[in-house]
């Protein structure tokens, strides 16, 4: 029998976790031949809810689901992990400042980075979904010195999917006909969804849609889409976030062949004038678990100013947790 792949989901009893684990069990990530073991991590307060999720996974009778491990201990959940979705994090409380949220989560992700360093498979791939995702990825990876930083990434794919879908709707095209969208920067309202190199049916998107729509409608709509979903649905994006997490991991493993690139939060290497030291949404080409930044896409001043603004926010986030980064 094919050896099962060990997939970790943290925060597995939460909204996104609940949407994600059933798709993983159904084979939506690795296909219909690959058995999986799900290793689910939660905090003790959510242990009972997690037991309920496990009961439902059992009741799903998924042929590919070899085993389920549910634990509140990172050393148990991360053991020999091949693919890791770090979803669990503390939501913002009513009286909480953004910087307090940053620090509470920084502590969670430093502990989890250390546990990954000790217990995960050496070729593990780690996707950080929990917010602030880019800075949490930096913390987790910095706390896992034996794992190369490029084995960590943060999720920009929901933003990328939102941008591609908004363009497709405007251009009356299908998603398959849209290519070359990229979302630069932070997974926050400073992100820059860029259409400079996007195409629709092979034609430059900015020749099809007008510039005013791009600047004053498309960009803010994509930046604020998460808030709009909360207002409309009464709850934050969950199924679309889980779907984007699957897309991100699948593309990372299987590759971007067939499209120009995807958007991933990756450690910066100086590309696009962004100094090393943060995880930044960039255009990448992937192949069997590697992600290479697509360098030197031509960008105008408008685009560069937006990239600088989102970089500034990420530098500030980094400063807020600098003392938690190992020296």
Structure-block tokens of residue 271:
């590309």
For residues 200, 205, 207, 213, the Cα torsion angle rounded to the nearest 10 degrees is 130
What are the catalytic residues?
187
Pattern of binders to ligand NAX over 173-192, x per CB under 6 A? --------------x-----
Contacting residue, 5, 11, 283, 313, with ligand NAX by CB under 6 A: 11
What phi and psi values does residue 128 have, to the nearest 5 degrees?
-100, 120
Contacting residue, 9, 79, 88, 186, with ligand NAX by CB under 6 A: 88
C-alpha 84/C-alpha 77 separation (Å) is 10
Structure-block tokens of residue 121:
């498979």
Region from 127-135, 172-180, 256-264, 307-315 binding ligand NAX, contact rule CB under 6 A: 127-135
Region from 8-16, 162-170, 199-207, 216-224 binding ligand NAX, contact rule CB under 6 A: 8-16
Q: Which is nearer to ligand NAX, 30 or 102 (CB)?
A: 102
Q: Is 129 in the site for ligand NAX (CB under 6 A)?
A: yes
Region from 14-22, 116-124, 284-292, 313-321 binding ligand NAX, contact rule CB under 6 A: 14-22
User: In angstroms, how far is CA 122 from the centroid of its own chain?
Assistant: 21
Count of residues of this chain found to bind ligand NAX when the rule CB under 6 A is applied? 29
- SS3 letters across 95-161: CCCHHHHHHHHHHHHHHHHHHHHHHCCCCCEEEECCCCHHHHHHHHHHCCCCCCHHHEEECCHHHHH
Contacting residue, 39, 42, 191, 266, with ligand NAX by CB under 6 A: 42
Q: Which is nearer to ligand NAX, 164 or 200 (CB)?
A: 164
Region from 13-21, 114-122, 192-200, 250-258 binding ligand NAX, contact rule CB under 6 A: 13-21
In the complex, what is the shortest distance from the CB of residue 139 to ligand NAX, in angstroms, rounded to a whole number? Answer: 13
Contacting residue, 5, 9, 13, 219, with ligand NAX by CB under 6 A: 13
The three-class DSSP label of residue 192 is strand
Q: Is 89 in the site for ligand NAX (CB under 6 A)?
A: yes
Q: Is 108 in the site for ligand NAX (CB under 6 A)?
A: yes
In the complex, what is the shortest distance from the CB of residue 201 to ligand NAX, in angstroms, rounded to a whole number? Answer: 28
Q: Is 23 in the site for ligand NAX (CB under 6 A)?
A: no
C-alpha 281/C-alpha 304 separation (Å) is 14
Q: Which residue's CB atom is positioned nearest to ligand NAX?
A: 14
CA angle 37, 39, 40 (to 5 degrees): 140
Residue 217 DSSP one-character state: I
Question: Binding to ligand NAX (CB under 6 A): which residues in 214-243?
Answer: 226, 236-238, 241
C-alpha 168/C-alpha 160 separation (Å) is 12
Q: Is 324 in the site for ligand NAX (CB under 6 A)?
A: no
Nearest by Cα to 113 from 82, 91, 150, 86: 86
Q: Is 16 in the site for ligand NAX (CB under 6 A)?
A: yes
Listed in sequence order, the residues at least 6 apart from 58 whose beta carbon sits closer than 8 Å to its beta carbon are 68
The three-class DSSP label of residue 271 is helix
Asked if residue 132 has a cis previous peptide bond (ω within 30° of 0), the answer is yes
| Residue carrying structure tokens 């030197």 | 296
Give me the residues that bind ligand NAX (CB under 6 A), please. 10-11, 13-17, 41-43, 46, 87-91, 108, 129-131, 133, 155, 158, 187, 226, 236-238, 241
């Amino acid at each position: 029998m094919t050896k099962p792949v060990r997939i970790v989901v943290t925060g597995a009893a939460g909204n996104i976790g609940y949407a994600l684990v059933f798709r993983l069990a159904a084979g939506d990530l690795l296909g219909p031949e690959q058995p999986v073991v799900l290793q689910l991590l939660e905090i003790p307060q959510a242990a009972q809810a997690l037991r309920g999720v496990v009961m439902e996974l059992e009741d799903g009778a998924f042929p590919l689901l070899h085993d389920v491990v549910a634990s509140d201990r990172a050393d148990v959940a991360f053991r020999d992990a091949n693919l890791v979705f770090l979803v669990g994090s503390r939501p913002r409380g009513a009286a909480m400042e953004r910087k307090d949220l940053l620090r509470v989560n920084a502590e969670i992700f430093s502990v989890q980075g250390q546990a990954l360093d000790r217990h995960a498979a050496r070729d593990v791939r780690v996707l950080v979904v929990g917010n602030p995702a880019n800075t949490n990825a930096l913390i987790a990876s910095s706390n896992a010195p034996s794992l190369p930083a490029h084995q960590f990434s943060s999720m920009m794919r929901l933003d990328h999917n939102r941008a591609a879908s908004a363009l497709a709707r405007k251009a009356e095209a299908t998603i398959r006909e849209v290519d070359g969208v990229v979302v630069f920067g932070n997974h926050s309202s400073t992100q820059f969804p860029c259409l400079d190199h996007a195409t629709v049916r092979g034609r430059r998107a900015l020749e099809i849609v007008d510039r005013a729509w791009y600047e004053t409608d498309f960009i803010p709509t994509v930046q604020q889409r998460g808030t709009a979903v909360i207002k409309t649905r009464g709850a934050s994006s969950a199924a679309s976030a889980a779907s984007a997490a699957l897309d991100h991991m699948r593309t990372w493993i299987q590759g971007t062949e067939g499209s120009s690139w995807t958007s991933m939060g990756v450690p910066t290497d100086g590309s696009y004038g962004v100094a090393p030291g943060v995880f930044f949404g960039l255009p990448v080409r992937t192949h069997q678990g590697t992600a290479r930044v697509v360098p030197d896409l031509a960008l105008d001043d408008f685009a560069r100013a937006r990239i600088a603004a989102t970089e500034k926010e990420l530098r500030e986030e980094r400063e807020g947790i600098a003392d938690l980064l190992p020296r």
